[in-house]
């Protein structure tokens, strides 16, 4: 048998007790799991007006209007799959022409993104979104 140790020895403890640390981390995890869904707020968005200074308008702007019942290039109704050809005809093949994109409030966001994807696929990368002036 080894020598008996006295309880009054000032030996250092070589092990770290991590149990309190783990308990604190689990409590913080639970707090964040409960608080995270509360941080995301579902707020309805209405984005028709802007306070930005209006830019000068070109002489003959190339506009694409998105309505609930269809897409128009200028004033002409256009199918979504023929959007590139209609834009090429309206811009005389110049894909550097800025396209002004207008959307009705009733248009779903997904439909607007589909039209923007069609513009990008057609090679028209300069797209400006049109909004009403706020008038403040």
Q: How confident is the model at residue 43 (pLDDT cuts 50, 70, 90)?
A: very low
> Of 11-20, 23-32, 35-44, which gets the smallest average pLDDT?
35-44
**pLDDT tens figures, 3-25:** 555 555 566 667 778 888 899 99
The pTM for the full model equals 0.55
Helix (H/G/I), strand (E/B), else coil: 78? strand
Computed over every residue of the chain, the mean pLDDT equals 78
Main-chain dihedrals φ then ψ at residue 78, nearest 5 degrees? -135, 140
Q: What sign does the CA torsion over 72, 77, 79, 83 have?
A: negative
- Asked if residue 2 has pLDDT above 80, the reply is no
Kindly state the tokens that stand for 107: 């248009």
Q: How confident is the model at residue 90 (pLDDT cuts 50, 70, 90)?
A: confident
**pLDDT tens figures, 50-80:** 677 776 666 778 888 888 888 888 888 888 8
Residue 112 to residue 30: CA distance in whole angstroms: 39
């Amino acid at each position: 048998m080894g020598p008996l140790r006295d309880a009054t020895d000032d030996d250092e403890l070589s092990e770290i007790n991590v149990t309190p640390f783990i308990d604190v981390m689990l409590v913080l995890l639970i707090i964040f799991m409960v608080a995270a869904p509360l941080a995301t707020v579902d707020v309805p968005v209405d984005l028709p007006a802007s306070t930005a200074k209006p830019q000068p308008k070109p002489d003959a702007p190339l506009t694409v209007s998105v309505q609930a019942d269809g897409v128009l290039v200028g004033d002409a109704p256009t199918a979504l799959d023929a959007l590139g050809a209609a834009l090429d005809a309206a811009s005389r093949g110049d894909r550097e022409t800025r396209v002004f994109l207008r959307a009705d409030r009733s248009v779903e966001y997904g439909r607007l993104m589909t039209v923007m994807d069609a513009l990008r696929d057609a090679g028209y990368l300069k797209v400006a979104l049109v909004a009403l002036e706020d008038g403040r």
